[in-house]
Amino acid sequence: MSFVIRYWAFIFFILSIIAISSALIAEYFFNFFPCKMCLYQRYPYYFIICIFTLFYFFLKISNIWLYILTELAILFGLFYSLWHVGIEKKILPELSGCTSSFNNSNSLTDLKNEILNQAIIACDEINWIILGLSAATINSLLLLFLLIFNTIFLFKYYYGK
């Protein structure tokens, strides 16, 4: 346990790199193109990688800010990830321009504009599944895991002293 506490930020950094790498490999090597929500779910990982690099190589200040910023990034990512799962299950509403259906248009011009503004990959369609789970579901589980452990780490390590 002391190993995990000592290297928690580095473990977090590595998990973020693995998550982004797997998404980019799926996109560029296996042609699983992301929808708009999938792209939003990547932002927290990019943010975590950037702030980790900033804190460990340039800023030599307290790590509490690193963990607090990481916690906020996880919450942002979990919000979009759970929303995406809800869209895939057709429980929650989609983002505009992120659906595979069209509205009833009154004119041909409105229909043309709607078709042209349509996302190439719809958010409500599952593009790839691993072990019976969609990528958004796997991302939700990973972020939930990271949120739980980061919160425990914050409370135990910083408030337990």
134 SS3 class: strand
Give CA–CA dist 48/56, Å, rounded: 12
pTM of the model: 0.78
Predicted pLDDT at 72? 93
> Residue written as tokens 């340039």?
58
Give CA–CA dist 7/3, Å, rounded: 6
For the chain, how far is it from start to end, CA to CA, in angstroms? Answer: 16
Q: In this structure, which amino acid lies at residue 132?
A: G
Q: How many residues does the chain have?
A: 161
Mean pLDDT (the chain, rounded): 80
Instruction: Please report, in tens digits, the pLDDT of each residue of the chain (161 residues total).
Output: 677 667 777 888 899 999 999 989 988 898 888 888 888 889 999 999 998 888 887 766 667 788 888 999 999 999 989 988 888 888 877 766 565 555 555 666 765 666 556 556 777 777 777 788 888 899 999 999 999 988 888 887 677 65
| DSSP single-letter state for residue 107 | S
List CB contacts of 72: < 8 A, sequence separation 6 or more. none
- What is the torsion angle, in degrees rounded to the nearest 10, for the CA atoms of residue 113, residue 115, residue 121 and residue 123? 80
Predicted pLDDT at 149? 86
Predicted pLDDT at 128? 75
Give CA–CA dist 35/135, Å, rounded: 11
